[in-house]
Amino acid sequence: MIKTAVCDDEKGAALACEKIARETLQKCGCSFEITIYTQSRNLLSDIADDGYFYDLLLLDIEMPELSGMEMAEKIRRYLPNVRIIFTTSHLEYAIDAFELSIFRYVPKNELETRLAPAVAEAARLISLESGKEYLIQTGNRMERIPYRDICYIVRDGKNSCFITERGVSKVRKSLQKVYEELDNTEFIFIDRGCIVNLIHVMRISGGMAVLKNGEELPISRSHVQEVREQINRFWGSRI
């Protein structure tokens, strides 16, 4: 079930986005629910106060009360892994969308051609990630770690240490072995001793990878250019 919310203060625009999202999710064969909001504060209240959960949000940027940018920043505290697609008439917001780790940025004048592919890709990744986990199994324990929860992985002696949103887990394997087992383009080496999950990277600043949780991870000089290129490719395909 892909739970989706559409928020736009213009009812006609909200209905247009809902129609495209509904038709796209039907074509993808997904089960889904779509809720429409015309007031941004109502959406935020449902999530923050009433615990509503959404996998995907389609947000207009230019809204009274709370803009889409402000909404995204606040909602991340409650739904850190939600996919957000921005719709807007102003291209200058694209850079800010990058900073907020927005999944896609769709200009309103290209809604008919670009929103459906964005929704389809989001649905595909949501479906994949809902069941994608790294398994740690030893003689006396078994632990499953969802990929989306992994912030980064560091070398700790002969162990690889998973830093997740829930805590820390260790496995007695090399980082290279863990990287090969992950087999996912969202994970990259930023140093010989550290693998980072790109979905948690907010920006690169002063040779550091700044994560959504505020942590800063050093990028080795030999990796800086490669890391920048990989991040640009990763986010460039999503804006």
Consecutive 10-residue runs of the chain (239 residues): their mean pLDDT? 93 95 92 94 91 91 84 84 83 49 79 92 78 75 82 94 89 94 88 90 84 89 82 65
Which residue has tokens 């670009």? 114
pTM for this entry: 0.58
Instruction: Cite the residue boundaries of each domain of the chain with CATH code 3.40.50.2300.
Output: 2-130
Bridge-based pairing state of the strands 168-171 and 187-191: unpaired
Instruction: Outline which parts of the chain fall under CATH 2.40.50.1020.
Output: 134-236
199, 220 Cβ separation under 8 angstroms: no
Tokens of 115: 């929103």
The pLDDT value recorded for residue 194 is 96
- Under CATH, what is the fold of the domain 134-236? OB fold (Dihydrolipoamide Acetyltransferase, E2P) (2.40.50)
Residue 35 Cα distances to 9, 60, 135, angstroms = 14, 14, 35
Given this model, what pLDDT does residue 98 score? 46
* Whole-number pLDDT of residue 94: 47
Cross-strand pairs, 210: 203, 216
Fold exhibited by the domain 2-130: Rossmann fold (3.40.50)
Residues 6+ apart with CB under 8 A from 86: 59, 60, 61, 68, 72, 93, 97, 102, 104, 105, 106
